[in-house]
């Protein structure tokens, strides 16, 4: 069995697979064109969020039997096409969940106290004590979670421990300790902070858009460490400029590295990071270990 590692994973995971007798090629900066050119040589592909496994790639990979996404979502894989070709698609939904949840909580604090802006001001030689003494506490505020799977439930747990009232919207009835399930409209109307934790599907594309911003409180804060495309970034921009949204923190963007995200980052009320929710030492190790386990078990089946 030949495995192609298309995106960086923990080196120990690569060695674990090799010790199990699996041939592993690491090409973790491979381009889309290069991937199509070599796809026929491999039985398994491992990707994270960078590489897209399209129908065109699969059509050039007659030996491909398994695609493993090291992470939560699989929106960078054409799952329907994989199913039609009998290619199994797996992911590691729990391995990076805590890291993403902690980044989300970190963004709540950063927005509430303008920590990045205050740091930038200090580095510029300013001492703007009065300007940065108007923060808010998280305790007593209402958090609305749009989506409440593995990551959302961890965020709910941590937010409740901070004294926040936690609401969540999910299409299926779900029990989440310390949180209350409500309709999306009720969540929008009551929340001081709104955090997105839904996968990107046709149904969730722009689940938060212009109509939803109209239903929110004035001065709400928006956080998206979930999936780009679930939040209408053009509508968010206008909502911030109008004063409806007090601030936003984004780890993901609809078109990463493109103009829409850069335009948002020009606003002083917006803070962000380059899709690093799962970018911790611990998550990298857990993701790699789970990827290796999936592939070794697949090879032995």
What residues are annotated to the active site?
227, 256, 275
Residue 180 corresponds to which tokens in the numbers above?
């209350």
The single-letter DSSP state of residue 63 is T
| Residue at token pair 């934790």 | 197
User: Taking Cα atoms as reference points, which of 250, 194, 252 lies closest to residue 75?
Assistant: 252
Residue 125's contacts (CB-CB under 8 Å, 6 or more residues apart) are none
In degrees to the nearest 10, what's the CA dihedral of 228, 229, 230, 234? 110
User: Taking Cα atoms as reference points, which of 198, 199, 197, 153 lies closest to residue 179?
Assistant: 153
* Beta bridge partners of residue 89, listed in sequence order: 67
Residue 278 corresponds to which tokens in the numbers above?
């799962």
| Residue at token pair 């078990």 | 297
What is the rounded CA–CA span in Å between residue 206 and residue 224? Answer: 12
- Whether 107 contacts 159, CB under 8 Å: no
User: H helices within the chain, ranges in order?
Assistant: 11-19, 32-38, 55-59, 79-84, 97-113, 115-123, 150-161, 184-190, 210-214, 233-242, 259-265, 281-300
User: Taking Cα atoms as reference points, which of 111, 119, 171 lies closest to residue 141?
Assistant: 111
List b or e across 125-158, with b for residues whose CB sees 16 or more CB atoms inside 10 angstroms: eeeeeeebeeebebeebbbbbbbbbbbbbbbbeb
Parallel, antiparallel, or unpaired: how do β-strands 88-91 and 142-146 relate?
Answer: unpaired
Residue 164 corresponds to which tokens in the numbers above?
């926040």
- Whether 233 contacts 255, CB under 8 Å: no
């Amino acid at each position: 069995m030949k495995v192609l590692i298309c995106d960086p994973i923990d080196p120990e995971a690569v060695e674990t697979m090799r010790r199990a007798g699996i041939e592993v090629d690491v090409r973790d900066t491979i381009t889309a064109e290069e991937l199509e050119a070599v796809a026929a040589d491999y039985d398994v592909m491992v990707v994270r969020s960078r590489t897209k496994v399209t129908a065109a790639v699969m059509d050039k990979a007659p030996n491909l039997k398994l695609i493993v996404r090291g992470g939560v979502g699989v929106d960078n894989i054409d799952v329907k096409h994989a199913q039609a070709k009998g290619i199994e698609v797996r992911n590691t939904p729990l391995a990076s969940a805590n890291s993403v949840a902690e980044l989300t909580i970190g963004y709540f604090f950063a927005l509430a106290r303008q920590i990045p802006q205050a740091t930038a001001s200090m580095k510029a030689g300013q001492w703007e004590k009065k300007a940065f003494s108007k923060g808010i506490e998280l305790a007593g505020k209402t958090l609305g979670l749009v989506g409440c799977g593995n990551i959302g439930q961890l965020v709910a747990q941590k937010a409740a421990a901070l004294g926040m009232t936690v609401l969540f919207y999910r299409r299926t009835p779900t029990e989440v300790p310390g949180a209350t399930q409500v309709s999306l409209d009720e969540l929008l109307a009551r929340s001081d902070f709104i955090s997105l934790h839904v996968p990107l599907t046709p149904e969730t594309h722009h689940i938060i858009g212009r109509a939803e911003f109209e239903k929110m409180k004035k001065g709400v804060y928006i956080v998206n460490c979930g999936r780009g495309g679930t939040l209408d970034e053009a509508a968010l921009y206008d909502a911030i400029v109008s004063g409806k949204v007090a601030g936003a923190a984004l780890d993901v963007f609809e078109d990463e590295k493109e103009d829409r995200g850069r335009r948002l980052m020009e606003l002083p009320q917006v803070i962000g990071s380059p899709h690093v929710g799962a970018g911790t030492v611990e998550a990298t190790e857990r993701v790699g270990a789970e990827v290796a386990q999936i592939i070794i078990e697949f090879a032995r089946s």
